[in-house]
Chains A and B, each alone.
Chain A
Amino acid sequence: MRYAYYPGCSYHGTGKEYESSTHAVAKKLGMELVEIPDWSCCGATAAHGKSHLLNISLPARNLAIAEDMGIMDVTTGCAACYQQLAHANKRMTENKETREKVNKITGKEYKGTLKVKSLVEAIGTIDPELLKAQVVKPLSDLKVAAYYGCLLVRPPEITGFDDPENPMFMDNMMKLAGAQALDWAHKTECCGASLGVSNLDVAVRMINRILKAAVESGADCVVVACPFCHLNLDWHQKSVNKQLGTTYEMPVFYFTELLGLAMGISPDELGLKTHFTDTQKVLSLVG
């Protein structure tokens, strides 16, 4: 499997563990991730509030470059980037007028031949037996709350690969890795995304609900597929504790980190030491 890979702006910053664990897991699974040359920002999460055209044109530049690579599928780990690329792709393939207008803006010709897949879909559609064959250290006894958030599964007209209310892709992957995926209530509740930057007092209330539900479900950790969700649930867990008087100590992992652990990849290579909420509790559980 060959993918044109879009890392997204957080790849060497706040989301760097996602980046390193993605590459480590992809290698094990025989997925080839070819970085889109000179990719640029997709506009998340700001362009949508400023201009419809800008919101399509920023991701469109990347689609046009990717199309020239001669690879059919584009993938990205970040849920916000995925949403932006998939949205622009849909608008440009469905409507010739939009496509021509946007191509004029970007100065690049996108013909509309690509498929955009989230990393969750790309890995989640691999033959389960193939994935299972790579699991050398099953995450036995680990109870995980798979958290999808919003942009990965909504709106279904754009995303469409999983159920928008009760998605199961990550749950199924966690089961293949030997973990117990819990049935819990806040799988798709929004974490507030960039409200964590602009209005933290609002975001902490949203984050609190998710962490509370995860604790009540009996989870050892939360599993995510988006750098923004990770930043809010991991780093801002401290802000929630401070502002609302809670005492959360809930480790938050990217799904690729847990898959990587089950595949015997070292915690250092996966980037497990750079989380803000201590991961040791879970690491000792899975040996």
Chain B
Amino acid sequence: MELINLNQSIAKNAHFIEEIGIESGQPVQKCYQCGKCTAGCPVAFAMDYTPNQVIRMVQLGMKEDLLKSKTIWICASCSTCSTRCPCNVEIAHVMETLRIMAGRSGTAPAGKAKYVEVMYNALLSTVEKYGRTYEVGLVLQNNLKSGKLFNGAEMGLPMFQKGKLKLSPSKVKGAAEVARIFSEVRKMEGGV
């Protein structure tokens, strides 16, 4: 990380700090860097910034670094951090909020972070279409968009043999109602 001028960063991104606090509903300013979140995080090994660093970066208004970080996507939302935080900051929810903001700002995730976003989109597109998750469609779309064409390919045959692979989607009668949920949210928020 480069040297940063804290006064400038905080002044420049005051709005962002406030926005995170309001949108996540979390008292991020209370964090005193005890590091308990990071100590218990099962996926910290794959992150570019650890959970406690993310909260500190929020306090310091480091918007750009945060929105393009891998951490906010690789977080598994297991809430170990949220459960243990002595300041009652739901860190996992802050991560989610940052992820949503990154999507809204058009910040394109890269590498492992991109794979997470691709999976989200693949899953949600099957839900928007059929009303339920369609596992085969999800994997196919996931592989096409991530460029990992044979990801999970070895799963196909054994899954099929065990009767765990349904080759056609089950569409709910109210699929149009589910599609409406997506379009209404888009109207209210823009994006999704």
Mark interface residues in A181-195 (1 if CB within 8 Å of B CB, else 0).
000000011101111
Given the known interface contacts A49-B99, A164-B83, the answer about A10 and B185 at a Cβ–Cβ threshold of 8 Å is no
Q: Is A132 an interface position by the 8 A CB rule?
A: no
Contact between B142 and A209, CB atoms less than 8 A apart: no
Given the known interface contacts A198-B142, A199-B112, the answer about A13 and B83 at a Cβ–Cβ threshold of 8 Å is no
Question: Which residues of B109-149 have CB atoms within 8 Å of chain A's CB atoms?
Answer: 112, 115-121, 123-124, 127, 131-133, 135, 138-139, 142, 146
Contact between A14 and B127, CB atoms less than 8 A apart: no
- The residues of B that contact A16 with a CB separation of less than 8 Å are 163-164
Contact between A40 and B78, CB atoms less than 8 A apart: no
Q: Is A2 an interface position by the 8 A CB rule?
A: no
- The residues of A that contact B121 with a CB separation of less than 8 Å are 46
In the assembled complex, how far is the CB of residue B22 from the closest CB belonging to chain A, in whole angstroms?
A: 12
- The residues of B that contact A108 with a CB separation of less than 8 Å are 177
- The residues of A that contact B64 with a CB separation of less than 8 Å are none
Binds A, one of B13-21, B50-58, B154-162: B154-162
Q: Which of A14, A106, A199 contacts B135 (CB 8 A)?
A: A14
Q: Which of B142, B188, B189 contacts A197 (CB 8 A)?
A: B142
Q: Is B79 an interface position by the 8 A CB rule?
A: yes
- The residues of B that contact A41 with a CB separation of less than 8 Å are 127, 131-133, 178
- The residues of A that contact B9 with a CB separation of less than 8 Å are none
Question: Measured between alpha carbons, how far is A189 from B42 in the docked complex, in Å?
Answer: 7
Q: Is B43 an interface position by the 8 A CB rule?
A: yes
In the assembled complex, how far is the CB of residue A69 from the closest CB belonging to chain B, in whole angstroms?
A: 15
Q: Is B106 an interface position by the 8 A CB rule?
A: no
Size class of B's contact patch? 35 or more
Q: Which of A39, A51, A206 contacts B192 (CB 8 A)?
A: A51
Contact between A49 and B181, CB atoms less than 8 A apart: no
Q: Which of B74, B92, B138 contacts A199 (CB 8 A)?
A: B74
In the assembled complex, how far is the CB of residue A43 from the closest CB belonging to chain B, in whole angstroms?
A: 7
Contact between A46 and B172, CB atoms less than 8 A apart: no
Q: Is A264 an interface position by the 8 A CB rule?
A: no
Question: Measured between alpha carbons, how far is A101 from B139 in the docked complex, in Å?
Answer: 33
Question: Measured between alpha carbons, how far is A195 from B173 in the docked complex, in Å?
Answer: 31
Q: Is A214 an interface position by the 8 A CB rule?
A: no
Q: Is A133 an interface position by the 8 A CB rule?
A: no
Contact between B172 and A48, CB atoms less than 8 A apart: no
- The residues of A that contact B158 with a CB separation of less than 8 Å are 276
Main secondary structure of the interface of B (DSSP, over half): helix
Contact between A200 and B96, CB atoms less than 8 A apart: no
In the assembled complex, how far is the CB of residue B21 from the closest CB belonging to chain A, in whole angstroms?
A: 14
Q: Which of A13, A155, A199 contacts B115 (CB 8 A)?
A: A199
Question: Measured between alpha carbons, how far is A235 from B155 in the docked complex, in Å?
Answer: 9
Mark interface residues in A82-115 (1 if CB within 8 Å of B CB, else 0).
0000000000000000000100111110000000
In the assembled complex, how far is the CB of residue A193 from the closest CB belonging to chain B, in whole angstroms?
A: 6
Contact between B152 and A13, CB atoms less than 8 A apart: no
- The residues of B that contact A190 with a CB separation of less than 8 Å are 42-43, 76, 78, 80
Q: Is B151 an interface position by the 8 A CB rule?
A: yes
Question: Measured between alpha carbons, how far is A95 from B166 in the docked complex, in Å?
Answer: 39
Contact between A9 and B132, CB atoms less than 8 A apart: yes
Choose among B117, B119, B159 the residue with the greatest number of A CB atoms under 10 Å from its CB.
B119
- The residues of B that contact A164 with a CB separation of less than 8 Å are 83
Q: Which of B112, B123, B139, B189 contacts A53 (CB 8 A)?
A: B189
In the assembled complex, how far is the CB of residue B132 from the closest CB belonging to chain A, in whole angstroms?
A: 5
Question: Which residues of A206-228 have CB atoms within 8 Å of chain B's CB atoms?
Answer: 206, 209
Which residue of chain B lies nearest to A58 when distances are taken between CB atoms in the complex?
B181
Question: Measured between alpha carbons, how far is A149 from B165 in the docked complex, in Å?
Answer: 25
Question: Which residues of B59-88 have CB atoms within 8 Å of chain A's CB atoms?
Answer: 73-74, 76-80, 82-83
Contact between B120 and A205, CB atoms less than 8 A apart: no
Q: Which of A13, A38, A155, A189 contacts B172 (CB 8 A)?
A: A38
Binding site for A on B (CB under 8 A): 23, 42-43, 45-46, 73-74, 76-80, 82-83, 90, 92, 96-97, 99-100, 103, 112, 115-121, 123-124, 127, 131-133, 135, 138-139, 142, 146, 151-152, 155, 158-159, 162-166, 170, 172-175, 177-178, 180-182, 184-185, 188-189, 191-192
- Please name 7 pairs of A and B residues whose Cβ atoms are closer than 8 Å in the assembled complex, sorted by A: A40-B131, A40-B132, A46-B119, A150-B79, A193-B78, A195-B76, A202-B43
In the complex, the 9 A-B pairs of residues with the closest C-beta atoms, listed nearest first: A190-B78, A150-B78, A9-B133, A46-B120, A154-B79, A198-B119, A46-B123, A274-B162, A198-B115
